[in-house]
Amino acid sequence: MPGFERFIDRWAVIPAHLFSNPRVYWHTLITAAFVHGGWMHIIGNMVFLYIFGHSVEDRMGHLKFLIFYLLIGVFANGSQAVISQTSKIPLIGASGAIAGVLGAYFYYYPYARILTLIPFGFFTIVVEIPAFIFLGLWFLMQTLDTTVSLTVQMATHRESGGIAFLAHTAGFVAGLVLSPFFGDKRSRFK
């Protein structure tokens, strides 16, 4: 087994391995969030973490944020793995954990204004959109993509590679649900 394949086998979630031998592969539910499929993958994740993570971490505190982030990553990766139990396609990336951060931001700062680029053909305008609209639309897109992905998977009886959309939706929902247990009691409407 070449070095890269050995690396992926050891650190990425491979659902078939996880469910056939969970004692050996349980750690991949955590480590997969720190493995990415290329520069664009990690840069995309870091942009969202940079925009939304700081405010959520301020609300939770450093240690609680770290625990929250790791728990959401495990839940998101685990959710995707559960629906693909026989798949040998690796699951990698922090997208599920970062989606949880987006869910927390949605809970704590629904009326914060998000500076957003909106393309109109050759032109682009910049507008400020309330977080609940920006993140609500993001979640809706992820949910639609999850539905299409699962429908294709069930119709073809094959695992599909690419983006683990269920990890995104599961991470967002888990972040939204767990946020009250990790943040302080300040008003979320400020």
pLDDT (tens digit per residue) in 143-184: 999 889 888 877 887 776 678 889 999 999 999 999 999 987
Over range 43-64, report the average pLDDT: 95
Residue 35, Cα to own-chain centre: how many angstroms? Answer: 13
How many CA within 13 A on the CB side of residue 171?
Answer: 32
Say which residue the tokens 């599961």 belong to.
170
This prediction's pTM: 0.91
